[in-house]
Amino acid sequence: MSSFDDYLQREDPWQQEQQAAPKPVHINLSLIAKRNLPASVADGPHDELIAAIMKLTHIRLDRENIADIDNLEMLGPVTNVYLQQNQIKQIENLDSLMTLRFLTLAGNQIDKIQNMRMLDELKFLDLSENKIESLDPDELPKSLMILNLTGNPCTHVINYRTSLLKALPNLQQLDLNEVTRQERLEAGCEVSDTSDEEEEEGEGEEMVGGPVVFGQDRDDDFLQLSADIILESQSRTQQYMALHEHHMDEIEEVRAQSQLTMNTGRSLKDSPRSDGSESKLSR
């Protein structure tokens, strides 16, 4: 077999990368430490590591190919958890995070909302770009103020938005759109006169006339956090698309070179040979 034939039988590196499915990752002490603590602490004495873990309030575990939500009982008073862009299929084992106020599970494989009603402090929930087909609003905590379900089949169900407004009395933003007083009235929700005045004057403790900002004295960080997540997600998506296009350009270049080599080989095969036969005939 020629070197060229051997080359054609080899798989493209990009194909090998796509076909090699990475092994699922499990949440453990080492992973939490690696992502959320300085290396000097993560690699230091075990008792100091545990003490540092217990003090964390923000846990970042995004893009780790995590398959299951587990082993979170080792954490302390956590308020923010980032689990977007993993391989999670089920919402579970969050009952140890009773102080949780901010949770993003965007870009996973979740097909059902469950095991969340006990999260009485949860204000922000991002479940966008999952596989949720049917929705039971009663499975969501009543405390939610921002909910994002864009990119799920359930958003196309009749009365989807109305059912959520009825079930979540504190909701101020749904699928990146503000919840208005008029929308609540049309959904049959109870709306107080004072909330109407606050919406018109913009003087209430919680601003309703634009991007959602929670109670000014303790919840200002939520608006910034939600904006940061959206910007970070857009940036990562652009990076992945650029990388993908680069790989595709490389593949096209290899294919073009292969086609050129094959055409050259055919041309040489079809051309008259100079093996001395003409000289023999002329004698």
Residue 83 burial (CB count, 10 A): 23
CA distances from 79 to 5, 35, 45, 97 (A): 58, 16, 26, 8
Q: Which residue has the tokens 């004495």?
A: 45
Residue ranges of alpha helices (H) inside 125-275 are: 160-167, 181-186, 193-201, 221-270
The tens-digit pLDDT sequence of the chain (283 residues) is: 555 555 445 555 555 555 566 889 999 999 999 999 999 999 999 999 999 999 999 999 999 999 999 999 989 999 999 999 999 999 999 999 999 999 999 999 999 999 999 999 999 999 999 999 999 999 999 999 999 999 999 999 999 999 999 999 999 999 999 999 998 888 888 877 654 444 444 433 333 333 444 444 445 555 555 555 555 655 655 565 566 566 566 666 666 676 676 666 666 666 555 454 444 444 4
Bridge partners for 25 per DSSP: 66
Amino acid residing at 9: Q
Q: Which residue has the tokens 């979170």?
A: 72
Contact by Cβ (8 Å): 67, 26:
yes
pLDDT, residue 3, reads 55
Q: Whole-prediction pTM value?
A: 0.67
Q: What's the CA gap between 245 and 142, in Å, rounded?
A: 43
What is the 3-state secondary structure of 43-68? CCCHHHHHHHHHHCCEEECCCCCECC
Q: What's the CA gap between 5 and 94, in Å, rounded?
A: 55
Contact by Cβ (8 Å): 125, 140:
yes
